[in-house]
Copies of this chain bind each other. A is one copy, B any other.
Amino acid sequence: MFSNLSAGALGLSLDHTQAIDLAAKHGFGGVDPDLAYLRGLGSKAAIAEHAASVQERGLSWGISNVPVALTAPAEEFRASLDGLPETLGLLSAAGVTRVGTWVRPMHDDLSYRRNWVLHVSRLHLVADLLADAGLRLGLEYIGPKTFWSTERFAFIHSIGEALELIADVGKPNIGLILDSYHWYTAGESAIDLVGLTDADIVSVDINDARDDRQRDEQQDLDRRLPGSTGVIDLAGFMDAVRAAGYSGPVKVEPFMKSLAELPVDEVLADVSSRLDRAINGPAA
């Protein structure tokens, strides 16, 4: 696995070339692709050239948002498929292999099972379309009870449920986006990660939680940098990810607005260092 710079996940406004420069400068192993930037390059040849230059700087691609309106009303979803081949062509030309999205863990109208059918239906189609372009799709479950309990029906908010959904869709290019924050808030432990392989994981996020709140009071959008409070058993989480043989990107997504007010180099040096420590694990 490799540390990944995702400016968006850090709440930083960096344009794509800046992000690449900063990723290289601070020793990240990867950077998120930027679909708008790829589109602006105008040709598959230019995209391939760009991708080669990123690779020369020692950077792998992280992950991009899935370019469809996955759970939108039917016509909006259909319309979002109109341009999909062109978009997938851009990602494919750049050599991007991972796209992802999160699963909304509740719904005000759809019962668990009706929401399940909606998700299976859309994912079944989208997974095949992505597979044709060499892309894997990562699904992130969202753990905080302060989020999943806020509407009439709860939905997927644990790793077990996410794996059940992936199995029911039955497409080999769908996997998990694992986030230590959701793993913690879902009440999970290392045992819930046993048996995972690299094929099951599309991306990994590491974050910590506030130490002045109980687990069921944690808020989805108020987290801490990995290792900063020690509330989350980051070592146990990363041991399991290593045991799975995971080979992909690891990033930080703390939803801390304060980061945007600090010098960007300071933030990235800190984040890169935290990611490295987590990835490398305890010294032998």
Contact = CB atoms under 8 A, between A and B. Distances in A.
A193 B73 CA distance: 25
A230 interface: no
Interface in A92-145: 111-114, 116-118, 120-122, 124-125, 128-129, 132, 145
A186 interface: yes
Contacts of A160: 111, 114
Nearest to A131: B74
Interface stretch (A162-170, A218-226, A257-265): A162-170
Contact of A74 (B113, B128, B153, B164): B128
Nearest to A152: B187
Interface stretch (A18-26, A31-39, A41-49, A76-84): A76-84
A149 B151 CA distance: 10
A217 interface: no
B117 A170 contact: yes
A161 interface: yes
A122 B169 CA distance: 13
Contacts of A111: 158, 160-161, 164
A117 B124 CA distance: 8
B124 A118 contact: yes
A186 to B, nearest CB: 7
Interface of A: 73-75, 77-78, 81-82, 84-85, 111-114, 116-118, 120-122, 124-125, 128-129, 132, 145, 149, 152-154, 158, 160-161, 164, 167-170, 186-187
